[in-house]
Amino acid sequence: MKSLIFLILILILGFKFYSIEFLATILVISFLIFFHELGHFLAAKSLGVKVEVFSIGFGKSLLEFNFKNTIYRLSALPFGGYVKLKGQDDMRPGFENLDPDSYSVLNPFKKIYILFAGPFFNLILAFILYILIGNLGIQKLSAQIGTIMPNSAAQMAGIKPDDTILAINGVKIQSFDEISEHVKLEPLRLLIDRNGKKIEFNLTPKIGQGYNDFGQLVPKAQLGVSPKGTSVLVYHSGLQSFNYALDESIKASTLIVKGIAKLIVGEVEAKNLGGIITMANITSKAAQTSFTLLLLITALISINLGILNLLPIPMLDGGHILFNIYEIIFRRKVPQKAFEYLSYGGMAILLSLMLFATFNDILRALQ
């Protein structure tokens, strides 16, 4: 009953603040959770482990059916999900079942295979979504120049407003955000379109102050130009879409790992940590803007979910993987008491992070 009341409250608030687009948030999260758990499910099945429950959501069951000894369930609280394997129970860390079809009897390598499959499926899903995005095309700022900074490398080379950068060092430029990837403190060859005429310029960028992906002010090589504000639809089709998907997946994964590292060392303030409200805000607004943007946000969240689940925190897949690596190295399991304390500690850490992220979301909403 409590789960249903909470679900109704979530829906009322969601529709009040985000209208019908709030459904996009629920669908995106449910889809990502389904895909994550599907990875665990298929890996477990491939090893003959019995899957007792496959649930999308937590709390009270709204709909369920039994198929081949597995209960498939749709639960009231949509922000999560789980696969319950025979012989594995996160709420009872010390629980084991020694039946032949139990998770408990598997060797550490097979357990790691099952544990890794969930995050891996999230990364694969993001890769597939990027391929789709590349073929659908995504709207970006064009490489047309709006303003040129005084005494900048661009001004000194003779580049003018309304020029469009076509290529840098022979590499085709399709949007303004691609320019920074090629700008370094070394001589560059720019191919410019000026009123339909192609002109080549040679220049060396100057060092200046710019912002990195985390909003930090850092020294950066700069041309000294800003975008005109015109937009262009950028496509990555055919085999090129695979390269695009791989590049974007690697960039997004790297960005998340760097972000976690910066949070740990204190370079990025913890107040930037966002939770489910931030996710709802972003996905709902993306759904209002365009389908392609919604796919892009979904891909980023999927990679985020995959990487975060690999963190070595007990109760997450990464924590369980770490326990199994310990067993492989030392040829014995983590002591039972230590395993239980670490598991409950991991649960407390995750709960604290969720509460803190939600608190940040509320503060941002009140500003």
Q: Report the catalytic residues.
A: 37
- Buried/exposed 283-298: b ≥16 CB within 10 Å, e otherwise: bbebbeeeebbbbbbb
For tokens 């303003």, what's the residue?
A: 147
Q: How far apart are CA 347 and CA 328, in angstroms?
A: 24
E strand map for 225-283: 225-227, 231-234
Beta bridge pairs of residue 192 = 165, 199
Q: How far apart are CA 30 and CA 36, in angstroms?
A: 10
* DSSP secondary structure letters along 305-364: HHHHHTSS-TTSHHHHHHHHHHHHHHSSPPPHHHHHHHHHHHHHHHHHHHHHHHHHHHHH
Amino acid at residue number 332: R
Is residue 180 a contact partner of residue 222, using CB atoms and an 8 Å limit? no
Amino acid at residue number 279: M
